[in-house]
Structure 1
């Protein structure tokens, strides 16, 4: 295999076959993929969730992960947020001519490691190699399928009295990408990770889950506003209950961002019935000690942040270009 990816690797001939057999089949090996048909044939009996996503993060490698880890976690987490266990994934690579083969292999190896954690498989894929300058090193497109383990999880389910929880401290991924982008040293690590284990624990415990959402682009602010609009409810959040690390607070002070607006890739928001709130919090704390009840569903159609000093303000949807290419 050459040291760098050339246009020949996307030409469909000998080089393409080498790339597929010596890299992708090596790390994504399973009978469905290696049958090398034009489409994967999978077992889809019962209700399934189906999602698609694309990943263009810059830089490709960051504290706590890389574009490959992000692609698998992001796709699997979207399925998990619908109560579905991730099972089958498609993967399309758009590779810039001249990318180091070593870089590509590191990304693919990371994807394989993440897949093994959740038991999912890449069952079909595509590779395109484009001239230098057409993409920035590598873009990845995915789709994912998973069988639904718990039905009726929806942003339209919230009712007055329901309780809102967050699975961990917020803003890690967005702040880490900012720091890398602007060459600011930080010890912070992206929260990028698979979330199925936490979601499955809630399901197995019989928690009355109303809604789930991973707080990616737009962060906590976006999720809460989307839920308030979808269910036509108000949401009140206790500011001092929202967990934010010192590293994220410091980076937000440097760049002038709000932690609640920053992207997360390993944190989710969950709405549960009032009776199950404490139990849900206890379960989530087993995975991350920062998990917390942060608010309640109320009347109205606005999201309100209440300070410890008795004042309050509206939380709006983030506006403008916060930080492009974070995922």
Structure 2
């Protein structure tokens, strides 16, 4: 009995259709996807604004402490939608599979996708499957597109940060990238760190039901918190000051950074948001994201195009923070 994908599973014939029905549709099916049309037809949600995002996932390894490529694909997509304030509505899902990937691995990934989509309250409404020769793909790559609708009165963007806004991070920094380092056996000491990969869209929906006075939400994935904040400074033409003593870092992540010479500000996250909002929105942010910390503030807008990200160190000094210049770890998402 064949226990792995082969090229006929992408050929358009009987084996491909059987594979899709038995291994994908059986777990991800819904009233739209089960029609198996070439295009998904959905109800109009009567919103004046539509948000759309697309993403591709090539993480290595496929399974890591706290997650896998399937969970990552759903979370990454709904979280990108949530940064605009959109309510996630529908998702496309495309697999590029390597000849030889084990059905047992693929089943685990599809199970994880189904579980995470339910957690994120989003339907997968259309998809695609391609199979390539051995060596032309590393087991599985996933591409997604997400569609969401933005309710009236919501205007959230990396271009909207304002002076005197507070800068929040919704939890500890760097767990995802350190979990991948552990999975790749890049260090030989024991830690308990797991990836923080999680869908945050439901929490954002709760936040925006409590207040619409949110200016910016940003997903600090590749490049970490530092690069995400630096991008906000550039887009909003502002200076942001953050405080070293307020940066939340788990003790294991801190230990790894000390031993390997890494800066947690540049480590990737997959289940945290940067939120920038007026102080008047503090209680609502804490209700929706109880683990949040205020790590800084927007201190001014600019007239000379010199946007800056500043770090006030524990010793009282001031350091300019740049966007990540190099690659700390490839294929983290």
Q: Distance in 2 between matches of 1:295 and 1:31?
A: 46
TM-score if structure 1 supplies the norm length? 0.95
Aligned mate of 1:154, from 146, 154, 157:
157
Deviation sequence 1:233-283 (CA, Å, 0-9, x none): 100001111100011111112322110101100000000012223x14532
Query: Contact 1:281–1:292 (CA<8 Å) still a contact in 2?
Result: no
Deviation at 1:133, TM superposition (A): 0.4
Q: Distance in 2 between matches of 1:209 and 1:59?
A: 36
Query: Contact 1:163–1:293 (CA<8 Å) still a contact in 2?
Result: yes
Aligned mate of 1:276, from 275, 281, 288:
281
Deviation at 1:140, TM superposition (A): 0.2
Pick closer, same or farther for the CA change 1:280–1:166 going to 2, 3 Å. Answer: farther
Residue aligned with 1:265, SS: coil
The corresponding residue for 1:78 is 80
Q: Distance in 2 between matches of 1:182 and 1:197?
A: 34
The corresponding residue for 1:36 is 36
Q: How many residues align?
A: 323
Residue aligned with 1:113, SS: helix
The corresponding residue for 2:22 is 22
Deviation at 1:2, TM superposition (A): 3.0
Query: Contact 2:51–2:148 (CA<8 Å) still a contact in 1?
Result: yes
Q: Distance in 2 between matches of 1:308 and 1:322?
A: 25
Structure 2 unaligned spans of 5+:
none
Q: Is the deviation greater in 265-274 or in 248-257?
A: 248-257
- Output the aligned Cα RMSD: 1.4
Q: Is the deviation greater in 232-241 or in 177-186?
A: 177-186
Q: Distance in 2 between matches of 1:86 and 1:275?
A: 26
Q: Is the deviation greater in 49-58 or in 194-203?
A: 194-203
Q: Distance in 1 between matches of 2:214 and 2:327?
A: 32
The corresponding residue for 1:136 is 138
Q: How does 1:104-143 map to 2 (within 5 A)?
A: 104-143=106-145
Residue aligned with 1:209, SS: coil
Q: Distance in 1 between matches of 2:295 and 2:230?
A: 15
Query: Contact 1:167–1:284 (CA<8 Å) still a contact in 2?
Result: no
Aligned mate of 2:71, from 69, 72, 75:
69
Residue aligned with 1:98, SS: coil
Deviation at 1:111, TM superposition (A): 0.3
Q: Is the deviation greater in 11-20 or in 245-254?
A: 245-254
Aligned mate of 1:196, from 176, 192, 201:
201
Pick closer, same or farther for the CA change 1:239–1:280 going to 2, 3 Å. Answer: farther
Deviation at 1:315, TM superposition (A): 1.0
Q: Distance in 1 between matches of 2:66 and 2:24?
A: 23
Deviation sequence 1:171-200 (CA, Å, 0-9, x none): 000111122223434210100000013212
Deviation sequence 1:76-128 (CA, Å, 0-9, x none): 10011111121211011001111100100100000000111122111111101
Aligned mate of 2:268, from 253, 257, 263:
263
Structure 1 unaligned spans of 5+:
none
The corresponding residue for 1:298 is 299
